[in-house]
Chain A
Amino acid sequence: MMNHLSPEEFVDALDGAGAARVSAHLAECEACRTELSEMRAVVDGAETLEAAEPSPLFWDHFSARVKEATARETASMPGGWSWGAFAWKPAAAILVAAAALVIGLNMRPAAPAGDPGFLVADGKADVAPVPLLEDDGTWSLMTALAADMEWDQVSEAVSPVAGTSDVLIEALTPSQREALARLLEKEMGEL
């Protein structure tokens, strides 16, 4: 039984790169010759379809458009890096600030009951060392987050100027905001 050409063999024959079996088969199989001839006619017809060439003046305009668009991309990529790589940093800065606040409040010595302040009768400050708190994981979290941050970001987070927190919160995704709210609620509940 005669095996007709496979799709791959037809394409090779179109390219003039068919193996000896292809040539031998085409020599004796009219059906495959017709098929190949019709395929070639379609390719020839397709090759005559011309795409509309724009005006020669278009190309400089196009290059200028691309340059402008890539300049906008560059502006949004500080230091050549994608801003997306740093998108987590505002959230981390807020978490660090929140953790610092919580730890600061936890480490504040509790005032003795009925005592109006920390001064004792002789006027000296009560400088009894505050026992170190056990690390409940917050400190580790804070140090891990801060390890990859620039000092400017840390200082801005810990000593925010007016409106900074609003800007940082605006930069958070909804899921990041939910995570922050959960963390703050948890920590505030423990005070």
Chain B
Amino acid sequence: MNLVRSWICNFPEPQKTSITDALESASLAKIRPALRLLEDLSADQRGPILNVELLSTFNLEPVLPALQLALNCLPSRACLQLGPLDAIESHISQRAGAESRKPLHARVIIWRLEELLPEALYPFSTGFPKQLAARVEEVVQRVERVVGLHQTNAHGVPLFLSTIAFPVNFSNPVFAAQHRAGLFSSVGRINQKIYELATDNKGVHVVDLAAWAAFEGRAHTDATLDFMARQPLSAKGQTAFGLFIARSLRPLIVPRRKALALDLDNTLWGGVVGEDGLAGLKLGHEFPGNVHLRIQRELLELRNRGVLLVLLSKNNEADAREAFDALPEMLLKWDDFAARKVNWNYKHENLRHAACELGLGLDSFAFIDDSDYEREQMRQSLPEVLILNDTPDPLHTLRSLWETDAFDSFSVTDEDHGRHRDYAVRAARDVSAHQDDLETFLKLLQMEATIEEIGPSNLERVVTMLGKTNQFNLTTKRHSRAEVQAMLNSPGSIPLALRLRDKFGEQGIVGVVLAIPIGQNSTLAIDSFLVSCRALGRGVEDALWTAMIDRAARQGTRKLQAEYRATAKNGIVAELYDRLGLQRVEQSSSSIRYQLAPVKRRAFPSWMAVTNQSNER
């Protein structure tokens, strides 16, 4: 239920309560009102459209409301289409011709042994072992044919194949385990084929019904309902099945979290390094240090499959570093973290800075902390961040890592494997660590800036930057594409973008300046001036400003007007125009107006090679 609560966290309270009540009670009498309440929400609140086709060898019709509710919780506007009972191949073939139907986002095939291979339930009545083994191979071939048929007739539609759950209603389970043609081995053979098909075919995924049924146990089934209606799931089984299918499909519409921010004390080890000292920390193969060791194992696994780890710790950095170096059982190394913020600042501010350095949105982050206070402050300050644990208990933290779906994905790509290395490169670009000899460091980065005219090739990126840049943004004007286009069309305007590369690679457009003519006296006003946070502190603003001034001087500008408009986030540029040599002419609590007259050309920064391609207008 914790997963569902996180899925529906943005729903209004009445819907949340109704859904939670419905799923906990597993009662259709509560599921139906919950479904009706969901219809009151707007399309935006309800999530993306998700058209799912279900094909099954048993009767799923009674289960549809539970399945519908679970998929709606993702959230999604799920539309379920149930194919005819036990007619998988003919339906796939026929549907191919029906082009007028709505597009499919997923096809799910659920099958079970009772229909696929009923002989396995009565081996001695059906030619055990030889004949039965041959029948198993026929089923394996059938499964393969179904995938081929789908690929031919519905190419590009993700296909979800269920594995075969072990039956619970049959006799002699002891014997079923003794022979390669026995029931359990037969199920295993078919499932093995299903896993292979998913491995070898892009867009084919597994809904592991066998694993799910094992987790759920016998209580998910109901023999009475199976005999009555060929529907084998109990009421609780139906909602659990719905949630299981929903989670299996979720990566189709919800991207996984890319980073996990976590604290040190009482998470990576037991105890507080600043108080207990190294000798007092608990980490190792004995209880309770083994819980923390297992947490580290899980975190290392996440890192190795492409989730970035970010360290957020209120500690002296030297103490934390010493613990990493000195504790022999530490699995995680200092460099396993793509960003480290070990200081006494607010954790939400540290996380915001880390997100900026890594070029990730806040909604890419999950967070773990043993402190109730820190979790609550993170929840209040950055609601986009998903908080995984909700108590200080380390075992609970470990469980939250086991149970979370925040990092669910269908596959792990080469890009995922290399992600940590890529972000280590980003960290190597971090100028804040080299303030002692900044100019030397900046020269070592071998930066090459290209000044471009804003136009069709970069307009999209410029509009995105205008919409998202908060820190280095002098006026924070959120112009639309049409508004920027109007400025480009204005005679005498100077719309420039700066593209940066360094020895680590291409950074793309990282700076924008928009200057527009006003009045009749050859005056230009700076409408917008912004630099992406991933390029802060590297003198990008100097290069861009110099290029703009150069152009302004050449087109005869006599006076330049500029403004700093204060926001909650752009304090770092409060004195930029002073540094660039402009004079203050007017000041209030929320803004400072500047001017520059005469407009004199200035030199480009010495640590950066600048190519100016903007002089074509």
Mutual binders A and B: no
Q: Which residues of A contact B (CB under 8 A)?
A: none
B: residues with CB less than 8 A from A are: none
